[in-house]
Amino acid sequence: MSKSASRICWHLTHSAYFVALMAASSLLSVVYANGNAKVFQYTDKKGNVSFSDRQPLDVPYTLVKFDCFACNVKSTTDWDRIPLFPRHFLREIELAAKQHEVDPALIQAVIHAESGFRPKVVSKSGAQGLMQLMPGTAKDMAVKDVFQPSQNIMGGSAYLAWLLKKYNGDLRLATAAYNAGPGTVSKYGGVPPYPETKAYVARVNSLFKRYQAQRRRMQNTEILSAASS
């Protein structure tokens, strides 16, 4: 990898932020071509917004990503065997599941598919946080800080509950709508024929079943009881 590709960083004023973010999507193709799909956004001590392919060590940062974790049709990941994260944000997931009457394993599956349990990721379309909420959805679900795990999970779970109710509990339609939007599902009268959405629905379903099985194995441990207390 060339020196310029191994260390890409742009320093800019807040007024130029959105223009630079669009430019970053194009410029970072150099980084992606070399196998690095992580881009970090942070604000330095002078107030300059910066982008880098290396994790900042001394300032808060947001991990910006330009693709959906479970939507890459060409992904070679074995979604039936990919490691699970049954203990990540467990308390927050249990609380949201109870409040919105959603299977906690489904919430875990969606978080895994959307963000890989990374609370500060931002997609190229503007979806944010663990459950990748769009700004409008976050507002509708009364989420004030999308990067705060408990708020994001509560808001995402509320939206997921609404979709499940809308589609009479049909998991395929609910997850398709979570990915492509309810309007698109209505337009096609079912799961949209988009390869990305089809892949997403299949992978969430696989993760859901696996998290359900994992939770059954955890039932006899103190983890769930402690998280629910």
Strand partners, 10: 51
3-state SS class at 40: strand
- Pair 137, 203 in one domain: yes
**Residue position matching structure tokens 């974790």:** 69
Q: State pLDDT tens for residues 132-191.
A: 999 999 999 999 999 999 999 999 999 999 999 999 999 999 999 999 999 999 999 999
Confidence (pLDDT) at 73: 83
Q: Is residue 223 domain-resident?
A: yes
**Domain CATH code at residue 124:** 1.10.530.10
Same domain, 55 and 101: no
In this structure, the answer to whether residues 57 and 102 fall within a common structural domain is no
Residue numbers of the domain that contains 146: 90-228
In this structure, the answer to whether residues 162 and 224 fall within a common structural domain is yes
Separation of alpha carbons 174 and 180, rounded Å:
10
How far apart (Å, rounded) are the C-alpha atoms in residues 173 and 199?
13
Supply the residues annotated as catalytic.
114
| Pair (41, 115) in one structural domain | no
Examine the domain organization and report whether 49 and 120 are in the same domain. Answer: no
Cα separation, 49 vs 2, in Å, equals 24
Burial of 121 (0-12, 13-18, 19+ CB in 10 A): buried
- Phi, psi of 33, rounded to the nearest 5 degrees: -60, -20
Across the chain, mean pLDDT equals 81
CA distance 130 to 148: 9
**pTM beyond 0.95, yes or no:** no
Same domain, yes or no, for 149 and 224? Answer: yes
User: Where residue 30 falls among pLDDT bands split at 50, 70, 90?
Assistant: very low
Per-residue pLDDT for 15 more than 60?
A: no
Please say whether the beta carbons of 38 and 63 come within 8 A.
yes
106 pLDDT above the threshold of 60 = yes
- Residue 218 belongs to a domain: yes
Same domain for 94 and 205? yes
**35 and 104 inside one domain:** no
The structural domain count of the chain equals 2
Q: Are 27 and 1 in contact (CB under 8 A)?
A: no
Is the domain of 110 the same as that of 186?
yes
Is 79 a domain residue?
Answer: no
| 100 and 204, same domain (yes or no) | yes
How many Å apart are CA 100 and CA 161, to the nearest integer?
6
pLDDT tens-place string over residues 116-128: 999 988 888 889 9
DSSP assignment string, 105-168: HHHHHHHHHHHTT-TT-B-TT--BTTTTB-HHHHHHTT-S-TTSHHHHHHHHHHHHHHHHHHTT
Contact 133, 155 (CB under 8 A): yes
